[in-house]
Every structure is written in C-alpha cells, then in structure tokens.
Amino acid sequence: MKPTVVLVGRPNVGKSTLFNRLTRSRDAIVADMPGLTRDRHYGHGRVGDKPYLVVDTGGFEPVVKEGILHEMAKQTLQAVDEADVVVFIVDGRTGLTAQDKVIADKLRRSGRSVHLVVNKAEGMNRGSVTAEFHELGLGEPVAISASHGEGVRELMELVLADLPDVTEEEGKKPTHPKFAIVGRPNVGKSTLVNSILGEERVIAFDLPGTTRDSIYIDFERSGKQYTIIDTAGIRRRGKVKEAIEKFSVIKTLQSAEDANVVVLVLDAQQEISDQDAGIAGFILESGRALVVAVNKWDGLDDYRRDRIKHDLDRKLKFLGFAKFHFISALHGKGVGALLQSIDEAYSAAMANLSTPKLTRVLLAAVQKQAPPRKGPVRPKMRYAHQGGMNPPIVVVHGSGLDEIPESYVRYLEHTFVEVFKLQGTPLRVQFKQSHNPFADKG
Ligand SMILES: Nc1nc2c(ncn2[C@@H]2O[C@H](COP(=O)(O)OP(=O)(O)OP(=O)(O)O)[C@@H](O)[C@H]2O)c(=O)[nH]1
Ligand SMILES: Nc1nc2c(ncn2[C@@H]2O[C@H](COP(=O)(O)OP(=O)(O)OP(=O)(O)O)[C@@H](O)[C@H]2O)c(=O)[nH]1
C-alpha cells in the first residue's frame, strides 16, 4: 500500500507551498477534466519510483482566533493518526514559537514517525537556521525552501527511506478483481457489502481491527474469485452502530489505491454533494477502474429519478468512462449486474493490447484526423505500444509530439477505448519522442 505522508504545522509556515510542489507533476494528468472537483488537501506524489499519498492539514478547520492554538484541530489529529509519516513544518524566518511547541508535544505523544522541517531557509546558513529547533526534541531538523524547491527531494527521500517499498508489490500482476467499496457516510456501503456477501459471511469476518485497517474479504461467486476491501466493515458490530467514526478520506484513498476496481457508492435520495465529487476526483486521479453504484433507487418516483440522473450528468461528467448502476442494496436489487460490471472493468483495466493492433488503430485514427500542426514541425506518429496496466497506458512514438493539444489526446484515448472495448477503466495516452535521423537533413 502507498505510504501516507501528512504535512502538519501552524498557519503560514508553507504547508500548501510544499504540498503543491510535491503533487504538481501528478496533477497534470487530469489537469483539465471538465467538471472535475478536487479537494486540494489530498494528492499523489512520487520520488524516483516511490509513490506516496500526501495530505495538507492546513485549513482543515478554521484557525483558532484568540491566543495560541491549545489543541490541534480534530481533523488534523485524525490525519496524524492515520499517517505513516508526519512532516512537521516550522518557519525558519519567524523562529521557534509557542504554537510550535504545543504541536511538537502532540506529535511526540502520537507515537508516529515525525520529521521536523525548517522551511523558508533559502539563502540562510543551515546550521544556524535549524539550531533553535533542536529544543523540540524531534530529532535533527532538516532545512528546506518549499518555494524555491531547495532540499525538498532530499527531504522526501529521507521521509520515505524507512518505509516498506511498494514498487515491487505494485508490479505483481493480479489474478482476480479486488474491489473497494467507497463513498461518503451513510450512502449504504455496509448494506451493499452485506448484500454482496450474504449476512452469515459478514458476521464470520466481523473481526475487531484497528481504526486504520480496512477488512479484506475473499469470496467466490458463480465460480469466480473476488476480494472485497471493506472500509466500513470495522464499524459494523452487531445491532447498534455506536459512535459512528468520522469519515476518513485517507482510508478511502488508500483502499482505492490498493484495489484494482473501485465501486463508488452514491445516495440517490440525497443531492450529489461536493464530497461525492471530491471522492470521484481522487478515484479518477488514482487511475483505477470504476463502477458507480447509485444506491437507494427504491422508493423514488419517476420525477426524482430523472432529476438525479440529470444531476449525475452534470456533476460527474468526468466519470464518463464508468458504468452507472441504479441499485437498491437494501433489497438486493441490481447487485448481480453490478458484479458483472466489476468483472468487465477489471478485464478492461488488465487488458493486453498488442503492439501491431495498437499501431494499426493509431495510424487509422491519424489518417482520419491528423494531429494539428503547431509551429514549423508537423507531428508524426509512428507506432504505439502498451506501457502499463490498471490503467492501460498507450505510449505513442513519433516526432514533433511536444505540443499535441489536449483535445487530440482525448480523441486518441476515445478511439483506443472504443476499438478495444475497454468499458470501466480510464486509459492514458503518453508520447515518446524518437529521434529522427533524417530530420536534420533537409
Ligand atoms: N521565503 C519563503 N517563503 C515561503 C516559502 N514557502 C512558503 N512561503 C511563503 O509563506 C507563506 C505561507 O505559505 P503557505 O504555503 O500558504 O502556508 P501554509 O502553512 O499552507 O498556511 P495555512 O494554509 O494558513 O496553514 C506564503 O506567502 C508563501 O509564499 C519558502 O520556502 N521561502
Ligand atoms: N431505502 C434504502 N435505504 C438503504 C439502502 N441501502 C442502505 N440503506 C440505508 O441507509 C442507511 C445507511 O446504510 P449503511 O450501509 O450503514 O451506510 P454506510 O455507507 O456503510 O455508512 P457509514 O458506515 O456511515 O459509512 C441505513 O439506514 C440503511 O438501511 C437502499 O438501497 N435503500
């Protein structure tokens, strides 16, 4: 599973500046999806071949108005609790403050692994800028400049050094669908898991766990093997749901990363909320295959059904690649069809796309509509091969491919998806310049 790095610190120390720097390159992938809403607190980062999730806790809750911050915001504490590593940022220009001490104390008691980072250190002597922060008792402070990008890469290498390497695990080819049921509180995730597995099964697996673990359940249906990742499972204990735990975006993201198919559950009896769209945005960014379950479809008249469909069209347009199912988890309606779509999405995400066929499809697409010329060089696309799975990545080789417009990339994506019938997974097209030995000669 990808490690989660949580950025903590008092206001104005540079958390979001660092966050933006860590997540910038990844954002480009889904930069201009129409309608996509993303919560700018959660993102994907990578150092070398090590991927991680990063959380900016700044602005999670309104800043306490008077006096020093006596208590870290609840949401921040939850994020710290669910983190693999905490990066605690202080301001090298302001120097050590009382608030820093309060936060340091909380972090020390959290038992998490903490890296102390002194930001805004550009043009300053490393030794002297970090000196006073030793007093926080969180080990050797690391000096960086988030806005200038100094020391950031070294910092992330250090932060990730002690964590288990996930790249090897990622490379393993899965053998069957492993799907995560995600969605905001109360949409019916537990009910859906029950409906898929059958009551007895769930009770048998209803093991107490720690708050941060999801439950993984293997099951068989119609002779086929599945693994379900149940993020809600831990809360479901017998009759009464005591103290419903706070919704965890981190847990949702982690389980989506770990799955090969995500089932996003929505509540048809409520409006599609910003939180729904936010979760949908993360799933899109993760590149996972997706099936949408619009739950609680029972008890709605035609007018309301039309309205919700309209609402979905408008707010979740960017999930056009996914199949939508209108189900009732409570009455077990539509659950079989949902599983079929999970199978289909899984196969699409894991499809083997042969180089000759990809190349044929590419050349036919180019023939039908050539990439627009920009500047003096005409883009030339020569061949395509598969560069990855889950999501399928098609690497197009050629020359003059620097400035292919986004609309043309989408055109190619749609063409590959249609010809290879890849329902339920996003597909990405990447370009690779090959040096053309004849280009300079005339
Ligand atoms: N000189 C200098 N300024 C920086 C650096 N990093 C961030 N800043 C500035 O510090 C200010 C606060 O940065 P933010 O990234 O918004 O800080 P934050 O911790 O996210 O603040 P909150 O959202 O209020 O918690 C901005 O004016 C940044 O431009 C740095 O490395 N050097
Ligand atoms: N009418 C109707 N109600 C449903 C359906 N599915 C679930 N519910 C109800 O919605 C409520 C929430 O269901 P849960 O399965 O606990 O939802 P959850 O998403 O697991 O909720 P959290 O544990 O808070 O994340 C319960 O009262 C369910 O009985 C459905 O298909 N139709």
Ligand 1 centre to CA of 275 (Å) is: 26
Q: Is the CB of 425 under 6 A from ligand 2?
A: no
Taking CB atoms and a 6 Å cutoff, what residues make up the pocket around ligand 1?
9, 11-17, 58-59, 119-120, 122, 145-148
Ligand 1 centre to CA of 12 (Å) is: 5
pLDDT of residue 66: 47
pLDDT of residue 241: 42
pLDDT of residue 73: 73
Ligand nearest to the CA of 186: 2
Structure-token match 């700018």, residue found: 40
Q: What is the phi/psi pair of residue 377, to 5°? A: -95, 130
pLDDT of residue 43: 86
Please report how the helices 189-197 and 335-349 are oriented relative to each other, as an axis angle in degrees rounded to 10.
90
pLDDT digits over 311-355, tens only? 999 999 889 999 999 999 999 999 999 999 999 999 999 999 999
Q: Is the CB of 270 under 6 A from ligand 2?
A: no
**ipTM for the predicted complex:** 0.86
pLDDT of residue 61: 57
pLDDT of residue 206: 42
- Choose one of 230, 276, 330, 335 to mutate for the ligand 2 pocket test, by most ligand atoms within 8 angstroms of C-beta: 330
pLDDT of residue 208: 40
Which structural domains are found in the chain, ordered by start?
Answer: 4-167 (3.40.50.300), 173-349 (3.40.50.300), 355-441 (3.30.300.20)
Among residues 98, 105, 102, the alpha carbon closest in space to that of 138 is found at 105
Residues of the chain predicted below pLDDT 50: 26-29, 62-63, 65-71, 200, 202-212, 234-244, 440-442
Cβ atoms 45, 55 nearer than 8 A: no
pLDDT of residue 201: 52
Q: Is 20 annotated as a binding residue?
A: no
Q: Which residues, 6+ apart, have CB-to-CB distance to 260 below 8 Å?
A: 174, 177, 178, 179, 288, 289, 346, 349, 350, 390
pLDDT digits over 254-287, tens only? 889 889 999 999 999 999 988 898 889 888 888 9
- Choose one of 181, 190, 197, 229 to mutate for the ligand 2 pocket test, by most ligand atoms within 8 angstroms of C-beta: 190
pLDDT of residue 41: 84
Separation of CA 152 from chain center: 22
Q: Is the CB of 212 under 6 A from ligand 2?
A: no
Query: Whose alpha carbon is nearest atom 21 of ligand 1?
Result: 12
Ligand nearest to the CA of 188: 2
Q: Is the CB of 185 under 6 A from ligand 2?
A: yes
Q: Is 231 annotated as a binding residue?
A: yes
Q: Is 121 annotated as a binding residue?
A: yes
Query: Whose alpha carbon is nearest atom 28 of ligand 1?
Result: 14
Ligand 2 centre to CA of 36 (Å) is: 26
pLDDT of residue 153: 95
Q: Is the CB of 295 under 6 A from ligand 2?
A: yes
Among residues 90, 65, 8, 2, the alpha carbon closest in space to that of 41 is found at 8
Count of C-beta atoms within a 10 Å radius of residue 49: 9
Cβ atoms 295, 267 nearer than 8 A: yes
C-alpha 108/C-alpha 176 separation (Å) is: 42
